[in-house]
Chain A
Amino acid sequence: MRMVEGLDVSPQCEIIWNDPDAEDEWGVYMQRARGLSDKLEYEMVKRKLRECATMHVRPQNYDEQIEKLMQDGLVWLPIRRTQVYSGFSHQHFPVRHLDENSMVYGVLSHSLEGAREFRRASENKDHMTMGELLGYPGCCSKFFTEVWPEYIDPMYQIAENSEFEQVDERHIKLPEIHMFNQRMLRYVNLNLGTNFPCSLNCEESIEIGKDWYRLAQDVDPKEIEALEKILSLSGSWGVLYGIAIITTEPFTVVANSAPTAEKWIVEWDKVETY
């Protein structure tokens, strides 16, 4: 993948409806589905379904956030101060001093030991350990260390590692993916699971996805129903000049991505659900 050197693309993500009627029909599902992923990340740790999760704390409401997690018997350790950004970012923007335009990236755990271990791993860029603590399959963590950070948004690399048909030199089509491995809509919080799967057919990742799904049914059945409806859509993901455009029938997502010099496309047809 040839990159445009020095191309600076600011963080962003937005959802655009492809038709005024699509917004009427799908808007309510979108609203319900988008809040679920963050809730589940927290609950997965709280219910000890995994050791850690990453969590940002903001100066504006850190008191509420800290009180809540302490009441839930959880701990949080800071890792890095970063500038606040609007939209989706593949990186942090370190700052020295905290103000209204900054926040703190950290780790949430149900044990201080776990949190410390994660922080140590983060400082050492030990993605295998971080992956283990986040509950990711080993194969997925290994794949991540191979592709990142050369590919900051490795959607094409993950798709290439799956069962696909070659449409063109930089265009592949996947006849089937699994809903639990669908990460091409994660820019707008439409995902069930937070790992980068090593492939869109990864069985181990699907198994972990089942935990997320069952938890979601317990946390909010309406929201998981909405998310499932959206994640079942076929579509395409394409990146060019640092902008990813993800198109489904009712909506399009625009988000910042890898600054490629050529267009790379992943299409998918059928989505297997649970």
Chain B
Amino acid sequence: MSVSVKLTNSECNNACVYCYEKVIRQKGRDKRKLDLDAVLKQIEYDFNKLGPPVYVHGGDPLLADIDVLEKILAKGYELGERTGIQVYPHNLTDEHIKLFEKYSTHVGCSIDGPYPLNKARNVPGKDPKQVWEDCKRNLLKMRDKGVSTGIICILSKYNTLPEPRKKLKDWLLWLESIGISGGRLNPAVNFADDGNYALTPDEMADAWVDLLNFTVFEIEKSGWKPFRDVFDSLLGNKQGTCIFDKCRYYHARTEPVVLSDGKTAGCFKVGAMDGHIYPRYPDYQDWNDPSKRYGMIRYDILPQVEYKDGGCKGCKFWRNCTGGCAGAAIDRDWRNRAYYCKAYYALLEEGERLLKAIMPNVVLATDGRAEFDGDKAEDMITNPFRIMDKRNYEYPAASGSPRGEKRNQQKVRVRKVSSEEQTAGHNDGVEHLDGNTRHLDSSDPAPGSRGHTDGIEHLDGNTRHSDSDGGCA
């Protein structure tokens, strides 16, 4: 996560139909005074805790005075030697692009596709055709100047139903041709309960599975999310974008926001339907404080509630998605699972199918054989490629039976070990194998000499022993 400076708070002259900051504007919570000194001070304070880059967001940050914008980017560059900004690039100027070059700014571009796919990103008083032409021109300018760019494309009925989706795919290929092979393809969520632009869960499932296959097989080194997240999650590598992770709803620091007056807030998506902006406390450390859970109770209850009632009980992908985005839940109520659960499920199922098709012997986070030292996909401790690893087999195999199991097999981490524990002996949290005998951690540098008195169960072949002072059998 990185510091998100909402320089213009929620102020914006565009009118994207699905904007999650709409209700904030309706309630008049979008306007705050500008206290640049306070903002710069807070950026530095947060940066020291969170690291780079400093990221400018909004509303529309391009509404800010360009001198003010430069001061923010300069600060971010001074601290981290790179910066970021999220814009709707139809109204970028050459001056802006010069700043981006100067401050090594990665420019996230909010574009839903070429005309007429871009109609949901309404710009009052401007023809959507012209909006697209201006976006295209600026994308190419930034490409020519070597400015790093990415895309956030919101999937809605305007650009994702089967007919317009053909043009969307062509556009993704065009983006690849100009050097943009990744970004986000996020679902539109109807936060304000207005209009008929959001896809149904079935439509979203169909679109996402189609686009996953398209981006994987048609785009070289595709970095499109959430598809990349799906593979990492299934392999137990990373949990993925925050929509797949547990969200501390009322203190959502996955987007640590600095407002224009220097005050701090969390992600604006949560509370979007009520127009709330929940404060963020930068010094908050008590993540295990039971009196300050900020909505984490969601992850205790969802696995206990039946699917038909809005919960996640018994779902095989629970670890991978943990109920999905709390800010985009059924009935816009974080106590429920995500509204697009069906689409998440379809994506993960498709990812599973593809990985298993290529490598039937891969161990995924959804396999019964996988072991974990926590309750999320990223807590998987089983090596997914164990059977395909030459360190473990003379003849490893991606499918079928491997042969020639090796005596000194690749060690498997069996539990997390703190640095304090890593003193002498085998205290690195890694399974030890002596021939066919598997020993878990012990404080004995020479297991087999003295006993394993570390309080950990030992496995000798099929025999499980509790700790003793005697040597291993």
Residue positions of A touching B, CB distance < 8 A: 4, 6-10, 12-14, 16-21, 23, 86-87, 240-243, 245, 247, 252, 254, 256, 261-263
Most chain B CB neighbours (cut-off 10 Å) among A7, A240, A263: A240
Q: Is B331 an interface residue (CB 8 A)?
A: yes
How does the 8 Å CB contact mask read for B296-321 relative to A, with 1 for contact and 0 for none?
Answer: 01001100111001110000000000
Q: Is B293 an interface residue (CB 8 A)?
A: yes
How does the 8 Å CB contact mask read for B268-297 relative to A, with 1 for contact and 0 for none?
Answer: 000100101111000000000011111101
Taking a contact as CB atoms under 8 Å apart, the answer to whether B278 and A4 are in contact is no
Q: Is B206 an interface residue (CB 8 A)?
A: no
Taking a contact as CB atoms under 8 Å apart, the answer to whether B276 and A241 are in contact is no
Given A9-B301, A23-B279, A16 contacting B331 (CB threshold 8 A): no
Most chain A CB neighbours (cut-off 10 Å) among B292, B294, B304, B333: B304
Given contacts A245-B335, A256-B297, 9 further A-B pairs with CB under 8 A are A4-B304, A10-B297, A12-B291, A12-B293, A18-B271, A18-B278, A20-B259, A23-B279, A252-B250
B137-190 CB contacts (< 8 Å) to partner A: none
**Can you give 30 A-B contacts (C-beta < 8 A)?**
A4-B304, A4-B309, A8-B304, A10-B290, A10-B300, A12-B290, A13-B291, A14-B250, A14-B294, A16-B278, A17-B279, A18-B271, A18-B274, A19-B29, A19-B278, A19-B279, A20-B259, A20-B264, A20-B277, A20-B279, A23-B279, A241-B301, A241-B304, A241-B305, A242-B301, A243-B297, A254-B250, A256-B297, A261-B306, A263-B333
Q: Interface SS of chain B: helix, strand, loop or mixed? A: loop
Closest to A238 in B: B333
Cα–Cα distance between A14 and B249 once the two chains are bound (Å) = 13
Contact among B29, B297, B306 for A12, CB-based, below 8 A: B297
Closest to A251 in B: B276
Q: Is B263 an interface residue (CB 8 A)?
A: yes
Given A4-B305, A19-B29, A87 contacting B290 (CB threshold 8 A): yes
Taking a contact as CB atoms under 8 Å apart, the answer to whether B333 and A254 are in contact is no
Closest to B24 in A: A19
Cα–Cα distance between A252 and B293 once the two chains are bound (Å) = 14
How does the 8 Å CB contact mask read for B99-135 relative to A, with 1 for contact and 0 for none?
Answer: 0000000000000000000000000000000000000
Given A254-B295, A254-B297, A263-B331, A6 contacting B279 (CB threshold 8 A): no
Closest to B306 in A: A4
Cα–Cα distance between A240 and B336 once the two chains are bound (Å) = 9
How does the 8 Å CB contact mask read for B332-366 relative to A, with 1 for contact and 0 for none?
Answer: 01011000000000000000000000000000000
Cα–Cα distance between A113 and B311 once the two chains are bound (Å) = 50
Most chain A CB neighbours (cut-off 10 Å) among B293, B294, B295, B297: B297
Inside 8 A of B293's CB, which chain A residues have their CB?
12, 14
Given A18-B274, A18-B277, A20-B265, A86 contacting B291 (CB threshold 8 A): yes
Inside 8 A of B305's CB, which chain A residues have their CB?
4, 7, 241, 261
Taking a contact as CB atoms under 8 Å apart, the answer to whether A16 and B335 are in contact is no
Cα–Cα distance between A247 and B273 once the two chains are bound (Å) = 13
Cα–Cα distance between A243 and B302 once the two chains are bound (Å) = 11
Within the complex, the shortest CB–CB distance from A9 to chain B, in Å, comes to 6
Taking a contact as CB atoms under 8 Å apart, the answer to whether B335 and A241 are in contact is yes
Cα–Cα distance between A262 and B259 once the two chains are bound (Å) = 37
Cα–Cα distance between A49 and B265 once the two chains are bound (Å) = 46
Inside 8 A of A252's CB, which chain B residues have their CB?
250, 276
Cα–Cα distance between A256 and B297 once the two chains are bound (Å) = 9
Inside 8 A of B306's CB, which chain A residues have their CB?
4, 261
Inside 8 A of A23's CB, which chain B residues have their CB?
279
Taking a contact as CB atoms under 8 Å apart, the answer to whether A19 and B276 are in contact is yes
Inside 8 A of B295's CB, which chain A residues have their CB?
254
Inside 8 A of B294's CB, which chain A residues have their CB?
14, 16
Inside 8 A of B290's CB, which chain A residues have their CB?
10, 12, 86-87
Inside 8 A of A240's CB, which chain B residues have their CB?
333, 335-336
Inside 8 A of A10's CB, which chain B residues have their CB?
290, 297, 300
Inside 8 A of B297's CB, which chain A residues have their CB?
9-10, 12, 243, 254, 256
Given A12-B297, A19-B29, A87-B291, A6 contacting B304 (CB threshold 8 A): yes
Cα–Cα distance between A23 and B263 once the two chains are bound (Å) = 11
Cα–Cα distance between A262 and B310 once the two chains are bound (Å) = 9
Inside 8 A of B304's CB, which chain A residues have their CB?
4, 6-8, 241
Inside 8 A of B276's CB, which chain A residues have their CB?
18-19, 252
Cα–Cα distance between A13 and B294 once the two chains are bound (Å) = 10
Taking a contact as CB atoms under 8 Å apart, the answer to whether B333 and A247 are in contact is no
Cα–Cα distance between A10 and B300 once the two chains are bound (Å) = 9
A-B pairs with lowest CB-CB distance, top 6: A20-B263, A86-B290, A18-B276, A16-B250, A20-B279, A241-B301
Inside 8 A of A254's CB, which chain B residues have their CB?
250, 295, 297
Cα–Cα distance between A8 and B292 once the two chains are bound (Å) = 19
Cα–Cα distance between A241 and B303 once the two chains are bound (Å) = 11
Cα–Cα distance between A12 and B306 once the two chains are bound (Å) = 23
Cα–Cα distance between A20 and B276 once the two chains are bound (Å) = 10
